[in-house]
């Protein structure tokens, strides 16, 4: 499968690249290269992980560029479990949570004009390999195996829907 990964140099991106490298033909983009997919060959999937933790507006702008230039039947958006008010995790940075909510809405609207395409928002839990999460985040911890499981599931042909599908991606997966 031919995949573009925006945010490939981040913590989640590096983990995914290492796990998926032997299985897929990947084009890796990071903040320095931007999220512009125009002019690149078409992809079977785009995984958008790019985020600017210090500037929520910058994160939204990176997503907008990716959506505008993505020529793909499958778009995977890295959201956050904190978007769900019932997750039990209260993120102190409300701007970050709002940016993730806005991102999910943007992906939903992008999908409305794309017949035959599908999009999945993976609401990732606490992912910091090797660290101990704060007590309130333990229930939504995402392991490296869990991360790979959820992304591979999103890349599979399993979700046969033409609307935005949202999955809470926590634990070890499967």
Alpha-carbon distance values, 39 to 48, 85, 115 (Å): 17, 39, 22
pLDDT number for residue 18: 95
End-to-end CA, the chain: 22
Task: Look at the pTM and tell me if it is higher than 0.85.
Answer: yes
pLDDT number for residue 105: 93
pLDDT number for residue 137: 59
Q: Which residues of the chain have pLDDT under 70?
A: 90-92, 128-139, 159-162, 174
């Amino acid at each position: 499968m031919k995949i573009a990964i925006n945010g490939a140099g981040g913590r989640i991106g590096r983990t995914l690249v290492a796990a998926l490298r032997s299985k897929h033909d990947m084009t890796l983009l990071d903040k320095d290269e931007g999220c512009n997919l125009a002019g690149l060959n078409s992809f079977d999937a785009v995984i958008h992980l790019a985020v600017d933790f210090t500037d929520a507006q910058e994160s939204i702008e990176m997503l907008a560029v990716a959506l505008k230039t993505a020529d793909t039947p499958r778009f995977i958006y890295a959201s956050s479990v904190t978007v769900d008010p019932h997750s039990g995790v209260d993120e102190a940075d409300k701007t970050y949570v709002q940016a993730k909510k806005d991102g999910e809405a943007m992906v939903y609207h992008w999908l409305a004009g794309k017949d035959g395409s599908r999009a999945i928002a993976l609401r990732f839990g606490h992912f910091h390999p090797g660290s101990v999460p704060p007590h309130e985040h333990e229930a939504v911890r995402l392991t490296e195996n869990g991360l790979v499981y959820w992304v591979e599931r999103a890349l599979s042909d399993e979700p046969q829907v033409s609307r935005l599908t949202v999955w809470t991606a926590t634990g070890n997966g499967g």
